[in-house]
Structure 1
Amino acid sequence: MSVATHDHESGIDDHTVIGRALAILDVVTDATQPVALAELSRATGIPKPSALRIANALVARRMLARVGPGYAPGTRLASQAARAAGGCTDLAAQPHLQELSARSRCAVAWFARFDGAEIRLAAASLDSTVPATMRPDNWPTARRLGDRFVFTMLGKAFLAEHPERVPSLLTRPLAPLTPMSQASPRRILEALDRYRESGYAIEAEQVRLGWACAVGRVTDGSGHVVGAVGLTAPWSAIARPSVRADLLRCGEAISAEFHTDTRAIIPTNR
């Protein structure tokens, strides 16, 4: 994994405890996956023994969290960022996504927020092995796919909460994205009903051959659906029996972080 050098300009270690702690926090919060000690040392210019001591002190204070062999933003850091912003921030979801990715051993864990016609990828945790074609900049968005966005699990999660938008999608045949795409109106409606009832669903190879996606809902304090949390990975990883429980647990954790936020009006896909 490659992470940005501290200060993004000089990369200079100022040799103060506060400066070093801030440098470590900067690197970890900028990363899309847990940052190993060697990467922290390289990116900040702080010797490994000092970086280890400071990072562990930040873990003890919940500013960072240990996720597998690396460091991720901690719950205290996320909650402070939320309070400073006057509500929730996307950063609040990041530690939970990183833990989900590490626990499930899936390539990508993500959280998308939506309200009305608006959808946006809010946060993601990517394994270093994820190919360029599966990174967020290349993901199949509504803008890229048009009506065929319904083949994606994010599209189904969104439409399950907005059934008034479904009839217009089913007035004409949808060209499949892969031989596995379930394009018939009956199968699409059945998939939406299953997700609406259970808050969890999986699609296998409907968007890209060899890849699958599992999705669970995220709600605010009033029970209103504000988004979806998902895992994207090769089918062999998504098919593990533990994935459902891991994903739903993460959805509950993110929902708890966002319970005070009722302002989830997010820019559209881009």
Structure 2
Amino acid sequence: MAKQTQVTQRELDGPGTVGRALGILDIVADIGRPARASEIQAASSLPKGTVYRFLQTLTDHGMLSHDPHRRVYFIGARLVRLAHVAWKQSSLAPVAKTHLDALASQVRQTIHLAQLDGGHVLYVDKLFPSRPVEMFSSAGKVGPAYCTGVGKAMMAFLGEDGLASVMAQQSFYRFTDNTLTSPEALLADLALIRKRGFAIDNEEHERGIICVAVPILSRNRILLGGLSITALQGRQDFDDLYKLVPIMQETATRIAADAADWRYPEIDIETKELGT
């Protein structure tokens, strides 16, 4: 089954010049290798001349690099530097690393650390066991929230306004026979997740892939991210994965405690809620 592109129409037709330039960068990133202008154009809804102007501007500012011999574009050094700074300042990965390493040594399973990026899941770290599971996700990739365990674990613990915003951005595309394809079905699942404290992915995004996931919440119950453990159906089953939930929750609590001094905008969120 063909997968949806991770570049949405909203990203391509974003507000003004900045939104459209970011859409071009998203296309180059999603292609995943040096790409010709014609490939980028084919993935864009913008006119050919507009795409070429953006490619030139982004190259002039170091956000893209251009190899004139191969006639390809790829992510530029300036964007790499900014991404590295963002990873250190805005990603849970540096805060969580020690705890993820400790968890990996105990469970020897594929572990994902993720955050919500608008209506999508942004994978910020991934640890492999000795027998890695081949699957869509990897650090830096963006995936759907409505049909991944870690996405649902995070959605379930959003506030009312935040959940409404994220729900409105879900495509409900059917990836497998088990994918939840309506808001009503997803909301019912999220209610169950809140009650039991963890989510599952029962081959909802990829056939043969199952997982359990827990949210990472601050002491004030502000969502920081999510943590999941993934397995191949047939190699493990949910009974095996359920046994790992307590240690996952302990790890999530430790990550949240270390994140208390991290530059996460919890103060801003609380201030906004208080109306000050």
| Band of TM-score, shorter chain | 0.5 to 0.7
Mapped partners of 1:217, 1:210: distance in 2 = 23
Q: Which amino acid aligns with 1:211?
A: I
Runs of 4+ residues over 4 Å off in structure 1: 85-89, 115-119, 137-140
1:159 paired to 2:155: yes
Which residue is 1:125 aligned to?
A: 127
Residues 186-225 of structure 1 aligned to structure 2 (within 5 Å):
186-225=184-223
Over residues 175-230 of structure 1, what are the superposed CA-to-partner deviations in whole Å (9 max), with x where a residue is unaligned? 42111223243321111112234431112111111111211111234331111111
TM-score between the two structures when normalised by the length of structure 1:
0.53
Contact 1:180–1:204 (CA<8 Å) still a contact in 2? yes
The secondary structure found in structure 2 opposite 1:150 is: coil
**Which of 98, 103, 108 pairs up with 2:106?**
103
Residues 19-34 of structure 1 aligned to structure 2 (within 5 Å):
none
Deviation at 1:131, TM superposition (A): 4.5
Which residue is 2:228 aligned to?
A: 230
Mapped partners of 2:106, 2:98: distance in 1 = 12
Residues 1-270 of structure 1 aligned to structure 2 (within 5 Å):
90-106=93-109, 108-114=110-116, 120-134=122-136, 136=138, 141-142=143-144, 149-160=145-156, 161=158, 162-165=162-165, 168=168, 174-235=172-233, 236-240=236-240, 241-263=242-264
Contact 2:123–2:141 (CA<8 Å) still a contact in 1? no
Mapped partners of 1:220, 1:129: distance in 2 = 33
Deviation at 1:116, TM superposition (A): 5.7
Over residues 37-68 of structure 1, what are the superposed CA-to-partner deviations in whole Å (9 max), with x where a residue is unaligned? xxxxxxxxxxxxxxxxxxxxxxxxxxxxxxxx
The secondary structure found in structure 1 opposite 2:260 is: coil
Deviation at 1:256, TM superposition (A): 1.4
Q: Which amino acid aligns with 1:157?
A: A
Deviation at 1:167, TM superposition (A): 5.3
- Report sequence identity in percent: 19
Q: Which amino acid aligns with 2:105?
A: A
Mapped partners of 1:138, 1:213: distance in 2 = 19
Q: Which runs of 5+ in 2 are unaligned?
A: 1-87, 267-276
Contact 2:113–2:226 (CA<8 Å) still a contact in 1? yes
Count of aligned residue pairs for this structure pair = 172
Mapped partners of 1:225, 1:95: distance in 2 = 20
Mapped partners of 1:105, 1:191: distance in 2 = 28
Q: Which amino acid aligns with 2:98?
A: P
Mapped partners of 1:153, 1:121: distance in 2 = 12
Mapped partners of 1:264, 1:115: distance in 2 = 14
TM-score between the two structures when normalised by the length of structure 2:
0.52
Deviation at 1:232, TM superposition (A): 1.4
Contact 1:104–1:242 (CA<8 Å) still a contact in 2? no
Mapped partners of 2:140, 2:90: distance in 1 = 30
Mapped partners of 1:263, 1:159: distance in 2 = 18
